[in-house]
Amino acid sequence: MSATDMAIPIESITGLVLAGGRGSRMGGVDKGLQSHLGMPLALHALLRLAPQVGEVMISANRNLAAYEAMGVPVWPDPIEDYAGPLAGLLAGLEHAQTEWLVTVPCDSPNFPLDLVARLAAAAAEQDAEIAMAALNEEGQLRRQPVFCLLRTSLVESLVAFLHAGERKVDRWTARHRMVEVVFDEPADFANANTTDELRQLQR
Ligand SMILES: Nc1nc2c(ncn2[C@@H]2O[C@H](COP(=O)(O)OP(=O)(O)OP(=O)(O)O)[C@@H](O)[C@H]2O)c(=O)[nH]1
């Protein structure tokens, strides 16, 4: 079996676009709704993710009607005050009807078309509960917690973690069987944190 064979059936994976952040490095705007090549950034991520999974959803905390207009379910964080991407992940885990959930951020429109297949193949091969992308940047591996496939049965573990006031992704994933999946083209994961970075994505 090649590394990109879908070892976990596509129908058993829900895709979640994380768009619930503060966007403070972009002046507090709703990043997912910023225009990129004529479409909201979050819609790019959604359209790229949809063929890789069985169903898709969005995690957002403001302008919910604008996200709902993208035609998929939209869930606000179940924890207030912008607890970070883990809070969006919790919304996804609570609402997904499938065995697996995969997340992508709204601000990274060019992620690989085989992202989910590669994460799923690694999770199945290693019998892992979590498969997380890691970028190989000149020999340094940098984990990408927002590009992550995980079993939805982890929901109770995450609820307990967040309700204990914990917020650090690494501290939570360390409690579970996790496999890192290395991607060698960091440019595929370029994202827009600032207005300048958004302009650069458009080149
Ligand atoms: N649901 C949810 N998503 C979040 C939250 N914080 C960040 N995200 C998402 O996680 C991804 C990475 O977020 P960052 O770019 O690090 O954070 P941000 O809040 O969007 O932007 P900054 O305020 O500039 O750090 C983006 O897709 C965000 O929308 C949150 O509190 N809830």
Mean pLDDT of 164-175: 93
CATH number of 10-201: 3.90.550.10
Q: What is the pLDDT of residue 128?
A: 98
pLDDT-derived band at 3, boundaries 50, 70, 90? very low
* Tens digits of residue pLDDT in 59-105: 999 999 999 999 999 999 998 777 889 999 999 999 999 999 999 99
Distance, CA of 167 to CA of 31 (rounded, Å): 22
pLDDT band at 202 (very low <50, low <70, confident <90, very high): confident
Predicted complex ipTM: 0.98
What is the distance in A from the centroid of ligand 1 to the CA of 82?
8
Question: Is 18 a pocket residue for ligand 1 (Cβ < 6 Å)?
Answer: yes
CA of 85 to the centre of ligand 1 (A): 6
Closest Cα to residue 157, out of 172, 144, 167, 170? 172
Average pLDDT over residues 137-141: 93
The answer to whether residue 199 scores a pLDDT higher than 80 is: yes
Alpha-helical segments (H) within the chain? 41-49, 64-68, 85-95, 115-126, 155-163, 169-173, 195-201
The whole-number pLDDT of residue 79 equals 87
**Mean pLDDT, residues 13-38:** 97
Q: What is the pLDDT of residue 81?
A: 74
Q: Is 83 exposed, middle or buried (0-12, 13-18, 19+ CB in 10 A)?
A: middle
Alpha-carbon distance 68 to 130, whole Å? 28
Query: Edge-to-edge, what's the strand order for the sheet holding 55-59?
Result: 74-75, 55-59, 13-18, 100-105, 140-151, 130-137, 178-183
pLDDT of residue 101: 98
- Structural contact between residues 83 and 152, judged by C-beta atoms closer than 8 angstroms: no
pLDDT tier at 174 (50, 70, 90 boundaries)?
very high
The finding on whether 59 has its CB within 6 A of some atom of ligand 1 is yes
How does the average pLDDT of the chain come out, rounded? 94
Nearest CA to ligand 1 atom 2: 20
Q: How far away, in angstroms, is 30 Cα from ligand 1 center?
A: 10
Cα–Cα nearest to 156, from 148, 164, 147, 145: 164
Q: Which atom of ligand 1 is nearest to 84's Cα? A: 31
Q: Where are the domains of the chain?
A: 10-201
By DSSP bridging, strand 13-18 and strand 100-105 are parallel
CA distance 84 to 79: 9
